Chain A
Amino acid sequence: MTALDERNSALTPRTRPARPGNSQRPHGSLLLFLFPAVALVGILLILPFLFTVYRSFFRDNGFSRSWVGLENYTTLLTDDIFLRSVLNTGMWTAGTLLLPVLLGLLIAVGTNSVRWGPMARFAIVLPYALSGSVTALLWNFMLQTDGATNAMLDSLGLSTLERSWLLEWPMNTIVMIIATTWQATGASMILFLVGLQAIPAETIEAGRVDGAGGFRLFRSIVLPQLRPISVVVIGISLVNSLKTFDIVWLLTRGGPGTESETLALTMYRQTFTLSRYGYGAAVAVILTVIVLLASWTYLRRQLRTN
């Protein structure tokens, strides 16, 4: 996959083009070219990041600060609210890998070569143009107890299936994952489609000549060819699901109570609602470690097997 190859090439020295005729010394202008980017990222992102790590070792209510070492972290391990938040984040990750990725693949394969394919794909891709917040707004209307889903079930004579969708765990997390699936499937579908269209027609033809068809053709010819793009799709979904915030914030605020909180929400509530800056920082650090570990292990394994 190009994105990964190119990322790798960042690490290998490259040959350079001929330099301008009188080969100016680059030092002065180098500063001019690199400084704005390094300054913006360094001051507004890297410094705050380092400060968050530092702060996670303190008890800090915004007014006074005292060193507590690893206490915030050890407290987290026995904090039921935090453990529920980890569980919810795990559900988000599993759900997002299962639903939008798998559905995107199936729809891309199914509509790739049919006449009405573009129309069906338009329906799927449209929600992807909406923001997480707007998706939440729309699904709030769908999922309220007096909302559209229950009204729909009622009109279909299925009133026994009606629920208070957002008020019971784990149902609220599951329906929010479905709402995200509605929004995000379009993205993975587009990417799989790009991958499909890059498969040479001769490869498929050769498979057919050898007598493969239908599911076998898909499993032994198409799927292996989609591997590089799958790395990208799964990587994006994995990282995004770990950072889930907007939709939960707007649909349940992590509630009822704190039952549907994800790590991103736990960090936000601890920090800005409860002013427990040190504790919130520890949650943020754990989230960061999980995100970095997930992308690193995953990408490393994929790159090695490729």
Chain B
Amino acid sequence: MARRVRDVLLIGTALLWLIPTYLVVVNASTAADDYAGPSWWPGSWGFFDNLSTAFETADIGQAMSNSLLYSTGAALIAVGVAALASFAVVIMPVKRPAVWFWAIYTGTLLPLQVFLSPLFNGYADTSLYDTQYGMVLIYAAIAVPFAFFVIRNYMTTAPREMMEAAQLDGASWIAMFVRIHLPLARGALLAAFLFQFLATWNDLLFGITLSTSPNVRPLMAALAELNGQYAGLGPPVILAAGLVASAPTVALFLGFQRFFVNALKLTP
């Protein structure tokens, strides 16, 4: 009896959880002109028209390609830079590795708001404001501490014998790093890359603070602008854009679920 009640509650919760997604899909598919309040069943089919309205109004296509550039670029830079630093702290005979660790890791403990206004002023003074270079640079910097944390932890737990056995006589540090430690740590590198890719893709705060023109603006900032025209454009257009904006993250997330579980456990 108790088991029956539990099952009903759990299945009920799961169904309840699906309702918003279901309603959004149905109403994003309704042609904007036919929309007359939220409906439970699909009426007309206008998903792609809605989408093209969204793309024209808020330049969603450009914003998506910007976000793709920022997410890929920043995650690649961050992972590379973090791997170098992890190697130095874990493998090389550094004095006071703990000091270096905290110097880099502190960046992820501080709330992002505390960086914003000096960055805004600094970007304005150095003409990085509203440029693609500027965006890649800040997203990379934000991503370094956590990527460093993941890769460093991995390097400290990797089997030591394996590394020692693989060490080459007389090889330079760089050769050791490139030939042995990078390949050994590829699981951690991939996890850090995926995690930072998604974090950058999902960012709103820096997008609305450090960029303004449609050519530079990342996707979430463009969606925010689109959402501001909710009344004028109608919900189907907004929802269609929201669904398309989520497609890459949903795909990545479902494809690499195991990596996220591992990365989540390490989140500060």
Contact = CB atoms under 8 A, between A and B. Distances in A.
A250 interface: yes
Interface stretch (B43-51, B113-121, B183-191): B113-121
Tell me what chain A mostly uses at the interface: helix, strand, loop, or mixed: helix
Interface string B91-109: 1111001101111111101
Nearest to B177: A33
Contacts of A20: 167-173, 176
Interface in B200-245: 201-202, 204-205, 209, 220, 223-224, 227, 230, 235, 238-239, 241-242, 245
Tell me what chain B mostly uses at the interface: helix, strand, loop, or mixed: helix
Interface size class of A (residues with CB under 8 A): 35 or more
A33 B84 contact: yes
Given A17-B91, A20-B167, A33-B173, A132 B204 contact: yes
B20 A48 contact: no
Given A148-B23, A295-B109, A37 B81 contact: yes
Nearest to A126: B21
A268 B119 contact: no
A110 interface: yes
B68 interface: no
Interface size class of B (residues with CB under 8 A): 35 or more
Contact of A280 (B13, B117, B167, B265): B117
Given A3-B266, A20-B168, A120-B10, A134 B144 contact: no
Interface of A: 1-3, 6, 9-11, 13-14, 16-22, 24, 26, 29-30, 32-34, 36-38, 40-49, 51-52, 55, 103, 107, 110-111, 114, 116, 119-121, 123-124, 126-134, 136-142, 144, 146-148, 151-152, 155, 182, 185, 187, 190-191, 194, 214, 229, 232, 235-236, 239, 242-243, 245-246, 249-250, 263-264, 267-268, 271-272, 277, 280-281, 284-285, 287-288, 291-292, 295
27 contacts: A6-B157, A17-B160, A17-B163, A18-B167, A20-B167, A20-B172, A21-B168, A22-B169, A33-B85, A34-B88, A41-B107, A41-B145, A44-B138, A52-B114, A110-B6, A127-B17, A133-B220, A140-B230, A141-B239, A142-B23, A144-B230, A236-B267, A242-B111, A272-B120, A284-B116, A284-B117, A287-B111
